[in-house]
Amino acid sequence: MTKLHLGVIDIPHSGGKGNLTTGDLAEILEAKYHIYQTFYERHQSEIIGALERSLQDFLEDRLSGSPANAVSFAGGEAAIKALFSRFIDSEEMNGLPGVPTAAARAGVSHRRKHPYAKRNPPRPSFRDTGEFEDAFRAWVEE
């Protein structure tokens, strides 16, 4: 059975306290805000479409005489990653319980020299350092 996974590459997270990793952060955000579940529910048709295009490209290559390779969903996986970035950019989680987050409203950003400065403008929820979003991956397991 083929499975789609949504997650992150587990790397140290510089905005965290202690030894927090992007994997730890992903687990916290999913448990508290259901970020991946919400993303999938709101963009299911686009996600499926991206994977269908990858499969279509594979079949077209095979039918045109290309050598037999395993089905690659790389194009679809990249499209899903871009879709997730737009999901964060457009603040689609806003309006759900606890979103926007207090840190986002306060403009807390560990990208800045003074992360907690009052003059920092509000930012999208779930984008503090950008590492969580950058580490996002979608992958297909057969």
How many whole angstroms separate alpha carbon 57 and alpha carbon 62?
Answer: 9
Cα four-point dihedral sign 3, 86, 128, 107: negative
Residue type at 30 in one-letter notation = E
pTM given for the model:
0.89
pLDDT given for residue 4 in this prediction: 95
Task: Please give the average per-residue pLDDT across 103-107, as a whole number.
Answer: 95
Query: Does the pLDDT at position 79 exceed 90?
Result: yes
From residue 13, how far is each of 102, 124, 125, 137 by CA, in Å? Answer: 20, 18, 16, 16
The pLDDT value recorded for residue 72 is 82
CA pair distance 36, 30, nearest whole angstrom? 6
pLDDT for the residue numbered 94? 97
When pLDDT is averaged across residues 130-142 and rounded to a whole number, the result is 93
Q: Over the stretch 15-68, which tens digit does the pLDDT of each residue have?
A: 656 789 999 999 999 999 999 999 999 999 999 999 999 999 888 888 888 776
| CA 80 to centroid of chain Cα atoms | 8
